Structure 1
Amino acid sequence: MKSIVIKCGGSVMEDLGDSFFESLSELKEEGYQLVFVHGGGPAINKMLELYQVPHEFVNGLRKTTPEVMEVAEMVLSGQSNRKLAAMLQKQGLKALGLNGSDAGLFLGEVVDQEKLGLVGKISGVNRPLLEKLLSEELIPVITPIASTEDGTKLNVNADYAAAAVANAIDSEHCIFVTDVEGIFIDGKLSSHLDKKEIEQHIKDEKITGGMIPKVTSAMKAISQGINSVMIVSGKDAFYKNGTWIGTNVSAKKEVFN
């Protein structure tokens, strides 16, 4: 079974274009099974402000108190998940929204209770469940929420959750959807960059601004064990006539088919 894991951040979800969905349809026609993992950062921030829940970030991760966790789950499962699943359904793609904590889909462990609260890492993925859904031609749309063995809900970085799913089902590709086509160096879209090249381009200030966290997230996901991450645009086609459009990021240079 050929599969692709697609991570869609909350900030780009509003900007997904028709060409993006056309690429998804083309991949489905070629026999790829799709799995979405999504975030919801901006919407969570907005709701935390509305309910006046104190919140902060520590080393790029949202410190998750029980109050923050309650709001995050409400937004992710009740708003962001529903929205993305509905968008896929509207395009004729059979999407099924799931909470990562449902049916032991994501088994999690606390990262650092003192510093980060209920922030977790995924220690196990229910592969049989995902394979069953994919065999039914369904597209799982999953929140990055894990559950510990005692049932405690944990907030997981969506990049890491996508990497965990990709590892669990041996996906051919893990794709990060952003607001740009990929990484541009000297005005040209780079089809493939490895860790060493990225570090050098950041040092030379050829990768700057908002692209730095994108490539950093990709490299962190790769550190979770997957071979590569493809950075693509959610506004345009990222796969057309059998050709990928974006930047493949890997630990070392390998051919990306």
Structure 2
Amino acid sequence: MKKQTAKMRDFLSTARTLNEALPYLQRYHGAIVVIKLGGHAMGSDEGMASFARDVMLMRTVGVNPVVVHGGGPMINEMLEKLGVTSTFTRGKRVTDAATMAVVEMVLSGQVNKRIVQAINAEGGRAVGLSGKDASMITCTMADPELGFVGEPSEVDTTLLRQLFEAEMIPVIAPIGADRDGHSYNINGDTAAGAIAAALKADRLLLLTDVSGVKNADGEVVTELSAADVEAMTESGVIAGGMIPKTETALSAVRAGVRAAVILDGRAPNACLLELFTDHGAGSIIRA
């Protein structure tokens, strides 16, 4: 009798916990959430498995997640292994034909399939793609001096919506093509922002290796408007590598994304904390 009473007490306690959590879990049912997973945020195999479990839970509670990934460190490693020498202009790598071949091999192959495998290992149904599949991302050359670096000019979401209907999880390498069939490397944040805008996503989550946008005192600012971001950039508080991330966030929210969040992808359950808790995680930016 005592054992049965203890089991009933545990059951009721769990039921109350689930009942309290239910409104949070249901708040994004049917929503589209685009997640940019940076190369530095991928971390260890354990970190990748944790991220995969988060994505799988999102799908389980009715969210439509889209993962867009980078892979800069992996590209650098492969270029070095293959002896491909890079040249730089204004501090940016020039992507010539040889470099572009390596970039596509690493992003669409090694990195993409690692993420797909991690999600599938957690019981998900992930599909690896690049922006070239089904002509998803059409590009123009961003800067002739930088070679095959692309700027999205058009995003076709037909395939993504079909995958949502099939309850599958798209994992997208940021490779696109122009109308003549030339391949282009797209900045991962830029690709994620363009996809989120085309989908009119509820959230764009930019996972990086910092905790969010910080003010002049070094404290993370949890909520920012477009005006806040512009003022902090103009004053130099937002600087360096944070500028392109906030620019991507602003472009996305101005194009119809409900909100963009810059958060630390190395933190355990970062995506779940942002979506399913009141306090969230990182810095949320709205138009």
Please tell me the TM-score bracket, short chain as reference.
0.7 to 0.9
Change in Cα spacing, 1:203 to 1:111, as seen in structure 2 (3 Å) is closer
Q: Quote the offset at 1:70 in angstroms.
A: 0.4
> How many pairs does the alignment contain?
247
* Partner residue, 1:155: 185
Contact 1:230/1:247 (<8 A) preserved = yes
Asked which structure has the greater RCO (Cα within 8 Å, sep 6+), the reply is 1
Tell which structure's C-alpha radius of gyration is larger: 2
1:14-53 to structure 2, matched below 5 A, reads: 14-15=43-44, 16=47, 20-53=51-84
Task: Tell me whether 1:242 sits opposite 2:276 in the alignment.
Answer: yes
The code of the aligned residue for 2:75 comes to: I
- Note the residue ranges of structure 2 that are not aligned, 5 or more in a row: 1-29
What CA distance in whole angstroms lies between the structure 1 residues aligned with 2:208 and 2:194? Answer: 19
Look up the SS of the partner of 1:80 in the other structure.
Answer: helix
Q: Does 1:76 align with 2:102?
A: no
Contact 1:7 1:37 in 2 (8 A): yes
d(CA) in 1 for partners of 2:83, 2:236 = 38
Residue aligning to 1:4: 33
AA matched with 1:163: G
RMSD (Å) for aligned C-alpha atoms: 2.6
Specify the alignment match of 1:133 in structure 2.
163
Which residue type is aligned with residue 79 of structure 2? L
The Cα of 1:30 is off from its aligned counterpart by: 3.4
Q: Deviations over 1:93-151 (max 9, x none)?
A: 221111221221111111222x1111111112221111001111111111111011121
- Work out the CA distance in 1 between the residues paired with 2:135 and 2:237: 43
Aligned AA (1:242)? F
Question: What is the aligned partner in structure 2 of residue 112 from structure 1?
Answer: 143
Query: Which segment drifts farther, 156-165 or 59-68?
Result: 59-68
Secondary structure at 2:39's aligned position in 1?
Answer: coil
Identity %: 34
* Alignment TM-score, normalising by the size of structure 2: 0.76
- TM-fit CA distance, 1:218: 2.6
Q: Is the 8 A contact 1:61 1:157 kept in 2?
A: no
Whose strand fraction is larger, Structure 1's or Structure 2's?
1
Structure with the bigger percentage of helix: 2
Does the CA contact (< 8 Å) of 1:160 and 1:221 recur in 2?
A: no
Write the deviation string for residues 56-108 of structure 1: whole angstroms up to 9, x where unpaired. Answer: 44456532101110010011111110111112122222211112212211111
Determine the C-alpha separation between the residues in 1 that align with 2:50 and 2:285.
23
